[in-house]
Amino acid sequence: MTAPPALPRHPIIAIATAPGRGGIGVIRISGPQLRPWAEHYLGQPLRARHAHYLPFPAGDGTPLDHGLALYFPAPHSYTGEDVLELQAHGGPVLLQMLLARCLESAAERDPATGEPRLPRLRLAEPGEFTQRAFLNDKMDLAQAEAVADLIDASTETAARSAGLSLSGAFSQAIGSLREQLIHLRMLVEATLDFPEEEDVDFLQEADAAGQLQQLQAQLESVRRRARQGALLREGLKIVIAGQPNAGKSSLLNALAGAELAIVTPIAGTTRDKVEQTIQIDGVPLHIVDTAGLRETEDTVERIGVERAWHALEGADAVLFLHDLTQRESAAYQQGDAQIRRHLAKRIAPATPVLHVWNKLDCVTPAAQAAVTAALPAGEESLFISAQAGTGLDVLRQRLLELAGFQSLPEGVFMARARHLRALAEVGEHLNIASAMLEQPERPLDLLAEELRLAQTALNAITGEFTSDDLLGVIFSSFCIGK
């Protein structure tokens, strides 16, 4: 990867640790020519990559705090610029005072030159340290995004996946695809450059069709691992729906392992959405309990029902909960049938619906068998007791299957939606190229263009071709200190 040439940039400063109290707080400064100012402010020479224990002086020379100063000269630093880190005690007021003092000291005039000691030092924008690391070719764009994903990881599996991407494994996989694609482009271009050599078919001699098939197979492997990584990052939104008193809140509580929703025998207790993120085998699942779906004259409950339908429209999967104890009630059957009709209209056809029959502990095995026999053909159903915990392990595993998560032996890349879109675009161009290769009169100029477009889409993942607008969107989502 060839990054844009590093240009002189104004030095930046930020508190690099999370807001709030802590044992340690870090002030990070990055920019050109930090050393003269840093040694003046701290009052002693600084050795590269050495921890100096010293006072951090206030404006009158008295110490604000004592801590560690670490100096990393360019280019051997996180950003590729000179970097200074001041590790103080983690009190929010103290860190703000130290930050203000650094800005004040940088603006002081050097008596010898009359210029500020560190001109134009300013507060960093969100993600600006990592953005500079990318622009200075310290990491590619996929690795830079993995920094934020590692910080935001909500499960151990997600953290390991983000660490794998940060180490460059995802970028290496993309690089391997790129090398094969470049080789294919070279073969096509050679054939275009020497059309008079009719007795030499470069593409056939080099088995271009076979190389393209191998490339497509490798691309599918990378896409599969990336899809799993995107699932680890984003999770899956699962909405529990059903009539009042079917046990939706009890199921939420059982899955979460905590009393999050109020459970009473009174129908219509839940008036609004209750959300909780749980993890199953490291996959975050966002479970949403909703108001019971029924016609009602209660204004507040009616609002809750409408919010439930809005939640269902945005669901990745639906748990349609049924009450086994009401299975023979004509009114209850009519209510379930009405919900089925509305689900068919208001959720996407591809959204999976899992029918879950609750209160198994309240019915006989014969009753369960009768319900099973009466199930519509092709309708997937599970039987559970949210109260007793029966069947919940089976339900959890089925939720993972609905999410599409599979433990892959070669590891999972942390990936984002834009990565998946780019990989899908690469696949589309390669499919078109494959069809062109099979034609008797191969349109080589169009084939070359499809391969070029595939490479452009691939390059966008690691940032070789990335617009400034996209960079702004990506890095603005980072925390200030990164």
CB 162 within 8 A of CB 418: no
List C-alpha distances in Å: 475 to 124, 143, 231, 236, 460.
12, 12, 21, 24, 15
Task: State yes or no: 467 annotated in a binding site.
Answer: no
Task: State yes or no: 248 annotated in a binding site.
Answer: yes
Task: State yes or no: 291 annotated in a binding site.
Answer: yes
Task: State yes or no: 270 annotated in a binding site.
Answer: yes
Beta pairing, strands 317-323 & 283-289 = unpaired
Q: Which residues contact 306 (CB under 8 A, 6 or more apart)?
A: none
Task: State yes or no: 296 annotated in a binding site.
Answer: no
Task: State yes or no: 432 annotated in a binding site.
Answer: no
CB 175 within 8 A of CB 43: no
Task: State yes or no: 247 annotated in a binding site.
Answer: yes
Task: State yes or no: 345 annotated in a binding site.
Answer: no
Amino acid occupying residue 450: E
Task: State yes or no: 79 annotated in a binding site.
Answer: no
Task: State yes or no: 2 annotated in a binding site.
Answer: no
Task: State yes or no: 28 annotated in a binding site.
Answer: yes
Q: Any idea which residue has 């005072």 for tokens?
A: 97
Task: State yes or no: 176 annotated in a binding site.
Answer: no
Task: State yes or no: 273 annotated in a binding site.
Answer: no
Task: State yes or no: 85 annotated in a binding site.
Answer: yes
Task: State yes or no: 265 annotated in a binding site.
Answer: yes
End-to-end alpha-carbon separation of the chain, Å?
Answer: 22
Task: State yes or no: 269 annotated in a binding site.
Answer: yes
Task: State yes or no: 267 annotated in a binding site.
Answer: yes
Task: State yes or no: 359 annotated in a binding site.
Answer: no
d(C-alpha 339, C-alpha 246), whole Å: 13
Phi first, then psi: give them for residue 3, nearest 5 degrees: -80, 160
List residues forming the annotated binding site.
28, 85, 138, 245-250, 264-270, 289-292, 482
List residues forming the annotated binding site for GTP.
245-250, 264-270, 289-292
List residues forming the annotated binding site for (6S)-5-formyl-5,6,7,8-tetrahydrofolate.
28, 85, 138, 482
List residues forming the annotated binding site for K(+).
245, 264, 266, 269
List residues forming the annotated binding site for Mg(2+).
249, 270
